[in-house]
């Protein structure tokens, strides 16, 4: 699933605060973290959701986003519940590191965001499996019919 598709979901009401350049990047995983040093839980291509419980000031934003940048995290989804809004120092820290920042409204649970990404990833896997099964079926039929190598290659490619 692309970050663009997640942000466009009207049910989630997410707001992109920073990182338009990342909208066409795929999200590989979703992780919820509220530790100042989240490194042990991060993976490349992730969407990281946080309630900002770690945030005490600008230095914390620097520390947190340094860790995200090390792992090429696609986006940070920050909840508005704890602080009432997303701190400007976090927006600046994400900008400096090229990390997209999405605001998650109080009314939207992180599980809703995670579930949306999981549903889309499952649909994508199902589609890839259907394409692979169709290709295999056509290939087996072609072999059974005694078609030549060129015909088989056209099916595979």
SS3 readout for the chain: CEHHHHHHCCCCCCEEEECHHHCCCECCEEEECCCCCCHHHCCCCEEEEECCCCCCCHHHHHHHHHHHHHCCCCEEEEECCCCCCCCHHHHHHHHHHCCEEEEECCCCCHHHHHHHHHHHHHHHHHHHHHHHHHHHHHHHHHHHCCCCHHHHHHHHC
Instruction: State residue 35's pLDDT score.
Output: 95
Q: What is the mean pLDDT of residues 125-150?
A: 79
Instruction: State residue 122's pLDDT score.
Output: 80
Percent over 70 (pLDDT), the chain: 96
Quickly state the pLDDT bin for 11 (edges 50, 70, 90).
very high
pLDDT tens for each residue of 14-36? 999 999 999 999 999 999 999 99
């Amino acid at each position: 699933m692309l970050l663009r598709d997640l942000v466009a979901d009207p049910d989630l009401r997410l707001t992109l605060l920073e990182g338009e350049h990342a909208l066409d990047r795929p999200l590989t995983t979703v992780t919820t973290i509220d530790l100042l040093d989240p490194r042990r839980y991060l993976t490349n291509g992730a969407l990281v959701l946080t309630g900002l419980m770690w945030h005490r000031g600008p230095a914390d934003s620097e520390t947190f986003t340094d860790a995200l940048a090390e792992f090429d995290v696609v986006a940070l989804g920050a909840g508005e519940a704890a602080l009432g809004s997303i701190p400007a120092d976090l927006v600046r820290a994400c900008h400096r590191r090229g990390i997209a920042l999405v605001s998650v409204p109080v009314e939207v649970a992180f599980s809703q965001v995670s579930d949306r990404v999981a549903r889309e990833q499952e649909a994508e896997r199902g589609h890839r499996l259907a394409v692979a099964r169709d290709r295999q079926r056509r290939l087996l039929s072609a072999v059974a019919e005694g078609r030549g190598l060129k015909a088989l290659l056209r099916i595979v490619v």
